[in-house]
Amino acid sequence: MRLLIFGLGYTATRIAAQVRAGGGAVMATGGTGDLAFDDDAGVRAAIAAATHVLSSVPPDDAGDPVLARYGDALNGRWLGYLSSTGVYGDARGAWVDESAPIAGRRANRNAADTAWLARGARVFRLPGIYGPGRSPIDRVREGKAHRTGLPDQVFSRVHVDDIARGVVAAFDAPAGAYNLADDLPANQDDVATYAAALLGLPAPPLVALADLSPMARAFYAENRRVSNLKAKRVLGWRPRYPDYRLGLRAVSAITSPNIASPAPAAASSDQR
């Protein structure tokens, strides 16, 4: 396997590590990659040499930059694209799966998701991503965590290493959209409170929505539970961290190995 990654960021770096661990070769654009995105000759040579191409580059106001610049060279290869469950828009707390309509508030993100699907890609729709160095635990430590007091506002999330395992599992899977999310959508306040408890700290402060940034208010304007049943059925994928408690305990074991875990909370009826 020779995998070319467009955009070697936080998540794609973990995917690259899994591919290399399995004996594959990885080429990549991005700050930590070995190719410059605007080096047309070098990138086109890498595409020609690749068996698999994965893009984690988000769309900009002009559209998807990878497809705009190199789309003509991508035919005949396994294609993957890291998208977002934001394409589903607000579901008022209901479950959504890959058959749900594309109704997200960002038209450019919706269009990029649709364009990669039209090219026969495996499109991975990702909820809130967390892992070592980028998690509620880090936000609590930095004094940036907060609660909103919205108990019915529910989101899905996924550990970054579970994304990597899902992408690798899809190397032999049919084209299409796949939600890679954990089994337990949860209220953001519960997650922040649990992260603080892992650190032996009180729950983060309550903050009114009006006092949050426009981006944060837009985040809380959406409410949905993301089903991962298709990925389980078609990819044979199972999240190693099926809920945020297991995932955050794994993060805390890396960053604060001497901290004891709080008592587990009761299982949610949302598990599926």
Q: What is the pLDDT of residues 12-28, one digit of tens each?
A: 999 999 999 999 999 99
Which pLDDT value is given to residue 258? Answer: 54
Which pLDDT value is given to residue 257? Answer: 54
Which pLDDT value is given to residue 170? Answer: 98
- The mean pLDDT value of the chain amounts to 93
Percent of the chain with pLDDT over 90: 86
How far from the centroid of its chain's Cα atoms is residue 203's Cα?
A: 26
10-21 vs 160-169: helix crossing angle, rounded to 10? 50
Pair of tokens at residue 82 = 């890291």
Confidence band of 256 (pLDDT split at 50, 70, 90): low
Which pLDDT value is given to residue 221? Answer: 86
In terms of pLDDT, which residue wins out, 261 or 104? 104
* Mean pLDDT confidence for 22-49: 96
Range scoring the smallest mean pLDDT among 90-94, 221-225, 261-265, 268-272: 268-272
* Mean pLDDT confidence for 220-237: 96
**Closest C-alpha among 130, 139, 120 to residue 177:** 120
Which pLDDT value is given to residue 271? Answer: 32
* Mean pLDDT confidence for 33-60: 97
What's the pTM value of the predicted model, to 2 decimals? 0.92
- Residue 2 pairs with which residues in a beta bridge? 25
In terms of pLDDT, which residue wins out, 51 or 264? 51
Which pLDDT value is given to residue 212? Answer: 86
Range scoring the smallest mean pLDDT among 42-46, 214-218, 253-257: 253-257
Which pLDDT value is given to residue 173? Answer: 97
Pair of tokens at residue 233 = 């059925």
Confidence band of 226 (pLDDT split at 50, 70, 90): very high
Range scoring the smallest mean pLDDT among 58-67, 137-146, 253-262: 253-262
Measured distance CA(118)–CA(231) in Å, rounded: 19
Measured distance CA(118)–CA(115) in Å, rounded: 5
C-alpha distances in Å from residue 197, one per residue of 7, 15, 203, 219, 240: 35, 30, 7, 24, 22
| Residue 29 pLDDT exceeds 70 | yes
Kindly report the CATH number that applies to the domain delimited by 2-255: 3.40.50.720
DSSP annotation of 73 reads G
Which pLDDT value is given to residue 188? Answer: 94
Which pLDDT value is given to residue 269? Answer: 34
